[in-house]
Homo-oligomer: A and B are copies of this chain.
Amino acid sequence: MLRNEMTKCLKIAYPIIQAPMAGGVTTSKLVAETSNAGGLGMIGAGYMAPTQIRDQIKEIQKLTSKPFGINLFVPQPFDVSEDSMKAANQALTTIRQQLHLPDKDNFGIADYNEVLEAFKEQIQVVIEEQVPICSFTFGIPSQEVIAELKQHNITLMGTATTVMEAVQNEAAGMDMVVVQGSEAGGHRGGFLNQEQESSDSVGLMSLLPQVTDAITIPVVAAGGIMDGRGLAASMCLGAQGVQMGTAFLTCVESGAHPVHKEAVLSISEDQTVYTRSFSGKWARGVKNHFILEMQNHEVYLPDFPVQNTLTQDIRKAASAENNPDFMSLWSGQSTRLAKSQTVEALIENMVAEAKKLNVNI
């Protein structure tokens, strides 16, 4: 069975990965409980400072002896143009007024070199703390970084949203690749064709077999998978396992804001949309007031991570006020399947359901 390549390589019982959602969702408890239940817990460390990362790794190591992983954002060159920042900030001023927030004009925007430096520091922590698995989104790290991580026996997972991105991940030496369908919540993890319209994004049912035909490393399916049916279907399509975000986001152990969990649990499947208004990068979330208000400005907003920094005060204030209208409520399209449950129940039920469907787990 090819499937065993993935679980064997990751040293886990079940081919189920908890997606490394950034922004505080992946608490130490969520990560550790997933690994303890036989899956792979992952720290969403994209936005985290090196010391934060180190502290969380140590905390998780106290909660589990099983392997867990970490995800980092690969920096991509971006523009910090005064003009686009000013235009975006003008649109955001209207939003700030609605939240009674003061105007802002100094954001302490980092430039590309600073972001690159921070990424290198994150990598060093991963190596020093001996995290066994490291995954990447938004790009493929340099050959130097890949070689260094491999020297330390760290298993590497890339992210792809197209066949071409999967091929490039394999060519760069990734051990496996997460293939993200259009159903997925949160940021699109791809890196080629950033200008793509949302209707270019390929659904998982279509993308998976096309990717598995094109590469030989194990493929992990992501996007809209919530239960044993999705796991079984993914394996029929050639994947060796799944990575799930939304299914873990509403778990009791997740650090998602209660208002965020509530929103995901209450909407129908067609109430999420792509937006780049929160961060400058396309991401799927619950359609809310902020997204609708920013829709007409979307084309000229600055790139990630500039726009993300610009909207920080807004998202923070909205969270503090439990106001879902201005929060980034990332969610995949399978909202009707989301449940408030423990990680253990989620994984146990999934495995039982997949086995019933004749899938060899």
Name A216-268 residues within 8 Å CB distance of B. 223-227, 229-230, 232-234, 236-238, 268
A202 on interface, CB distance cutoff 8 Å: yes
Q: A229 and B209 in contact (CB under 8 A), knowing A163-B336, A182-B182, A273-B197?
A: yes
Chain A 168-209 near chain B by CB (<8 Å), digits 1 or 0: 000000000000011100000000010011111111111101
Chain B residue nearest in CB terms to A207: B269
10 A-B pairs in the complex with CB atoms less than 8 angstroms apart: A163-B268, A181-B205, A200-B272, A205-B205, A205-B233, A205-B234, A209-B226, A213-B336, A214-B336, A229-B238
A331 and B337 CA atoms in complex are apart in Å by 29
A325 and B226 CA atoms in complex are apart in Å by 41
A206 and B199 CA atoms in complex are apart in Å by 16
Chain B residue nearest in CB terms to A231: B236
A333 on interface, CB distance cutoff 8 Å: yes
List the number of copies, as a whole number: 2
On whether the beta carbons of A210 and B269 are closer than 8 Å, the reply is: yes
A199 and B358 CA atoms in complex are apart in Å by 33
On whether the beta carbons of B236 and A193 are closer than 8 Å, the reply is: no
Q: A203: which of B209, B224, B271, B274 is its contact (CB, 8 Å)?
A: B224
A5 on interface, CB distance cutoff 8 Å: no
Chain B residues with Cβ below 8 Å from A213 are 336-337
On whether the beta carbons of A223 and B203 are closer than 8 Å, the reply is: yes
Q: A233: which of B162, B193, B234, B272 is its contact (CB, 8 Å)?
A: B234
On whether the beta carbons of B270 and A196 are closer than 8 Å, the reply is: yes
Name A308-361 residues within 8 Å CB distance of B. 332-334, 336-337, 357-359
Q: A206 and B333 in contact (CB under 8 A), knowing A162-B270, A198-B198, A274-B199?
A: yes
A284 on interface, CB distance cutoff 8 Å: yes
Chain B residues with Cβ below 8 Å from A230 are 205, 209, 237
A164 on interface, CB distance cutoff 8 Å: yes
On whether the beta carbons of B209 and A334 are closer than 8 Å, the reply is: yes
User: How far in angstroms is the closest Cβ of chain B from A235?
Assistant: 8
Q: A210: which of B196, B200, B337 is its contact (CB, 8 Å)?
A: B337
A2 and B207 CA atoms in complex are apart in Å by 28
A196 and B206 CA atoms in complex are apart in Å by 22
On whether the beta carbons of A232 and B224 are closer than 8 Å, the reply is: no
A207 and B238 CA atoms in complex are apart in Å by 20
- Taking A209-B229, A210-B336, A233-B233 as given, write out 7 further A-B residue pairs in contact, using a Cβ cutoff of 8 Å, ordered by the A residue number: A162-B269, A181-B203, A181-B205, A205-B223, A209-B337, A213-B337, A233-B237
User: How far in angstroms is the closest Cβ of chain B from A178?
Assistant: 15
Chain B residues with Cβ below 8 Å from A232 are 233, 236
Q: A182: which of B163, B203, B209 is its contact (CB, 8 Å)?
A: B203
Chain B residues with Cβ below 8 Å from A209 are 226-227, 229-230, 334, 337
User: How far in angstroms is the closest Cβ of chain B from A344?
Assistant: 22
User: How far in angstroms is the closest Cβ of chain B from A170?
Assistant: 16
A199 and B200 CA atoms in complex are apart in Å by 10
A359 and B236 CA atoms in complex are apart in Å by 9
Q: A333: which of B202, B270, B332 is its contact (CB, 8 Å)?
A: B202
